[in-house]
Amino acid sequence: MANPLIRDRDVDFLLYELLDAPKLCALDAFAEHSRETFDLYLQGTRRLAREVLYPAYRAMDAEPPRFADGAIKAHPLMKSIYPQMIALEIGAATRPREVGGQQLPLIVAALAHAYLMAANLSAYGYVGLSTGAAHLIEAFGSDELKRDFMAPLYRGDWTGTMALTEPQAGSSLADVKTRATPAGAHFLIKGSKIFISGGDHDLTENVVHLTLARIDGAPAGIKGVSLFAVPKRRREGGALIDNDVHVAGMIHKIGWRGLPSLAMEFGERDDCRGWLVGEPHRGIAHMFQMMNEARIMVGCNGVATASAAYHEALEYARVRPQGRPLGAKNPAAPQVPIIEHADVRRMLLRQKAIVEGGLALIAVTARFADLAAHGSHAAERRRAALLLDLLTPIAKSFPAEKGFESNALAVQVHGGYGYSSEFLPEAWLRDQKLNSIHEGTTTIQGLDLLGRKVIAEGGAPLALLREEIDAAIARAAAAGIDPAWCARLSAAIETLESLTQSLAQMGIAGAVEKMMSHSADYLELTSLVIVGWLWLRMAAVARAALERGAPDGDFYRGKLSAAQYFLATELPRVAHLAALCRDAEDSYVAIKPDWF
């Protein structure tokens, strides 16, 4: 059976049974849409993913882009893949009609694009990065910049990048050194960037780099960094001419091998022009306003990559005969498929709980993003925005961290064959590892969650989460879900609330380092509560469907099994993680560098 990459039934369940996506069409922004237009879009991306992107995946993993004569050549297959993605207008799927978009809810676009990611992260990356770059110009750029840069990016005529990282700075964007010298309507840009994904290629005539740089005389630190649109080629006299942006080298990445990651030099000849996007010195603030969406999409990468591997492992376990049931007496009996072994089912159910829980996490977070932007009144938008802020670091990090574990299990289920590059699970394992690193490492997600998100507005985000969880528990109880499952979630959210208060007290008392010392544990703990909440919600829907005798009973029974697994196996870990945070266990705080 062909790998579905993501199961359509799961997406339908999320959109139409769990989250009632068509209800969004009552909002002005989505009034032109309906379940029919959602499904049409999904059909297009599913088909493209399965028939075009996925068949090219192995070849693109095996043969990365080439760097020769100062330029990057993408894999030849991309020459036909790229226009087909553009034909579906995926780049501006969620953007408004007036900028050429389809004005789809993010929840629909994210799930639809998840198929493309599961099929071929690198191929999708060329478009996904362009969307991010164009969206920044849409939000903060002048009308001229929109015309000159945003429009060709959304049309797919050009592609875009985020040129943030510098060799000496890494995650520390406050230390960006690239310089921008005023020169009339533009600036002269000079500096080095690294890890620029899609920084050069031969698929389109131009690439626009959304570049962080420091205007001459700007203050040190985060408040002196500005954002610029810096094209590979600039328009002069109706022609595109070289803008002094050069590829200095290509990173040999271990995954995402179809998408080049480059070291780049801006302004070696002092002739690199950039145009300011938004206000001077507000570059990082502007970027962070778009960060939720970027991070949700990284989470989506993670879920998609785990999903492709899970479905591969599931099919393998169903068809690969090996061994016999425990205690079987007759050694001449035929071997059974390995899915018959309890520990193989454990590995599969764990993957299912991570993948389908992760997909629900992306869908719920995206739906809050839709409501935050387009809700019918200010209170609805504010509520959604607070929950979106809270959920984003989870949506970014849970799929990356647990997805990596899930991908490793897919390799393990394949046994010795999984250790071979003739099978795909090892490639997805390599791909997945990036998601805990780019767009803010997991460390940074933990600091963001505990240091900013949960303490925002007097703790309002967590109070709203509590409301959501209480409602979910009530619905689950009404649907006849085992009270023990509800009790576990109830205990977990209470633990999270009281822990957060304790930590906030530490912070208020000035012990900020102590408060923050277990930010990684706090992030994991919060992830467990949130994904546990989603599994309880899914279980309630599944139980209700079974009660009313819905067809497709096995599908719902599977949801209940995964919910049971997650709530029994993962959620109870909350107590121990909370103890570590609350006690501020100090082994790694106290250790000195020389003691290692």
Nearest alpha carbon to residue 472 among 488, 458, 461: 488
Per rule CB under 8 A, is residue 192 in the interface with a copy of itself?
no
d(CA 124, CA 129) in angstroms, rounded, equals 9
Per rule CB under 8 A, is residue 281 in the interface with a copy of itself?
no
Per rule CB under 8 A, is residue 512 in the interface with a copy of itself?
yes
Per rule CB under 8 A, is residue 319 in the interface with a copy of itself?
no
Max Cα separation, the chain?
Answer: 86
Structure-token match 């869908």, residue found? 363
Residue 289 vs 561, nearer CB to a copy of itself: 561
Residue 184 vs 416, nearer CB to a copy of itself: 416
Backbone φ and ψ for 92, nearest 5 degrees, come out as: -115, 25
Q: How many CB atoms lie within 10 A of CB 307?
A: 32
Per rule CB under 8 A, is residue 491 in the interface with a copy of itself?
no
Per rule CB under 8 A, is residue 495 in the interface with a copy of itself?
no
Among 458, 548, 551, 587, binds a copy of itself (CB under 8 A): 587
Nearest alpha carbon to residue 506 among 498, 496, 517, 514: 514
Specify whether the CB–CB gap between 396 and 405 falls below 8 A: no
Residue 80 vs 171, nearer CB to a copy of itself: 171
Per rule CB under 8 A, is residue 335 in the interface with a copy of itself?
yes
Among 418, 440, 461, 532, binds a copy of itself (CB under 8 A): 418
Nearest alpha carbon to residue 434 among 117, 59, 173, 203: 117
d(CA 292, CA 489) in angstroms, rounded, equals 26
- Cα angle 315, 317, 320 (rounded to 5 degrees) comes to 100
Specify whether the CB–CB gap between 217 and 228 falls below 8 A: no
Nearest alpha carbon to residue 393 among 354, 428, 439: 439
Among 70, 237, 238, 416, binds a copy of itself (CB under 8 A): 416
Backbone φ and ψ for 424, nearest 5 degrees, come out as: -80, -25
Residue 285 vs 349, nearer CB to a copy of itself: 349
* Cα Rg of the chain (Å, integer): 24
- From residue 568, alpha-carbon distances to 353, 380, 532, 563, 578 in Å are 12, 34, 10, 8, 17
Per rule CB under 8 A, is residue 572 in the interface with a copy of itself?
yes
Q: For the window 55-94, what string marks contact with a copy of itself as x by the rule CB under 8 A?
A: ----------------------------------------
Residue 297 vs 562, nearer CB to a copy of itself: 562
Per rule CB under 8 A, is residue 576 in the interface with a copy of itself?
yes
Identified catalytic residue from 356, 426, 439, 570: 439
Instruction: Candidates 182-190, 226-234, 344-352, 470-478: pick the segment binding a copy of itself (CB under 8 A).
Output: 344-352
Residue 381 vs 557, nearer CB to a copy of itself: 557
Tokens of 101: 């978009």
Q: Kindly identify the residues of this chain, within the stretch 83-142, that bind a copy of itself according to CB under 8 A.
A: none
C-beta of 137: minimal distance to a copy of itself in Å? Answer: 25
SS3 219: coil
Per rule CB under 8 A, is residue 327 in the interface with a copy of itself?
yes
Among 419, 456, 501, 547, binds a copy of itself (CB under 8 A): 419
C-beta of 439: minimal distance to a copy of itself in Å? Answer: 11
Residue 389 vs 426, nearer CB to a copy of itself: 426
Instruction: Candidates 112-120, 371-379, 382-390, 441-449: pick the segment binding a copy of itself (CB under 8 A).
Output: 441-449
Q: Kindly identify the residues of this chain, within the stretch 245-264, that bind a copy of itself according to CB under 8 A.
A: 251-255
Q: How many CB atoms lie within 10 A of CB 78?
A: 23
d(CA 88, CA 21) in angstroms, rounded, equals 21
Instruction: Candidates 121-129, 170-178, 228-236, 383-391: pick the segment binding a copy of itself (CB under 8 A).
Output: 170-178
Structure-token match 């179809």, residue found? 258
Beta bridge partners of 379: none
C-beta of 336: minimal distance to a copy of itself in Å? Answer: 10
Q: Kindly identify the residues of this chain, within the stretch 204-223, that bind a copy of itself according to CB under 8 A.
A: 219-223
What kind and span of H or E run contains 476? Answer: helix 460-479
Is-catalytic flag, 17?
A: no
Structure-token match 């995650």, residue found? 171
C-beta of 594: minimal distance to a copy of itself in Å? Answer: 5
Pairing of strands 207-215, 179-183: parallel
Per rule CB under 8 A, is residue 452 in the interface with a copy of itself?
no
Q: Kindly identify the residues of this chain, within the stretch 373-412, that bind a copy of itself according to CB under 8 A.
A: 404, 408, 411-412
d(CA 156, CA 208) in angstroms, rounded, equals 12
Residue 68 vs 342, nearer CB to a copy of itself: 342
Among 426, 439, 448, 524, binds a copy of itself (CB under 8 A): 426
Residue 335 region, left (φ>0) first, then alpha (ψ -120 to 50), else beta? beta
Per rule CB under 8 A, is residue 331 in the interface with a copy of itself?
yes
C-beta of 353: minimal distance to a copy of itself in Å? Answer: 9
C-beta of 241: minimal distance to a copy of itself in Å? Answer: 32
SS3 158: coil
- If DSSP states are collapsed to H, E and C, what string results for 321-386? ECCCCCCCCCCCCCCCEHHHCHHHHHHHHHHHHHHHHHHHHHHHHHHHHHHHHHCCCHHHHHHHHH
Among 246, 438, 453, 537, binds a copy of itself (CB under 8 A): 438
Nearest alpha carbon to residue 19 among 27, 31, 29, 11: 11
Among 89, 564, 578, 581, binds a copy of itself (CB under 8 A): 564
Per rule CB under 8 A, is residue 155 in the interface with a copy of itself?
no
Instruction: Candidates 31-39, 46-54, 95-103, 416-424: pick the segment binding a copy of itself (CB under 8 A).
Output: 416-424
C-beta of 420: minimal distance to a copy of itself in Å? Answer: 5
Instruction: Candidates 77-85, 115-123, 365-373, 415-423: pick the segment binding a copy of itself (CB under 8 A).
Output: 415-423
Per rule CB under 8 A, is residue 505 in the interface with a copy of itself?
no
Which residues does 595 contact at the CB level (< 8 Å), separation at least 6?
Answer: none
Q: For the window 535-554, what string marks contact with a copy of itself as x by the rule CB under 8 A?
A: -------------------x
C-beta of 345: minimal distance to a copy of itself in Å? Answer: 4
Positions marked catalytic:
439
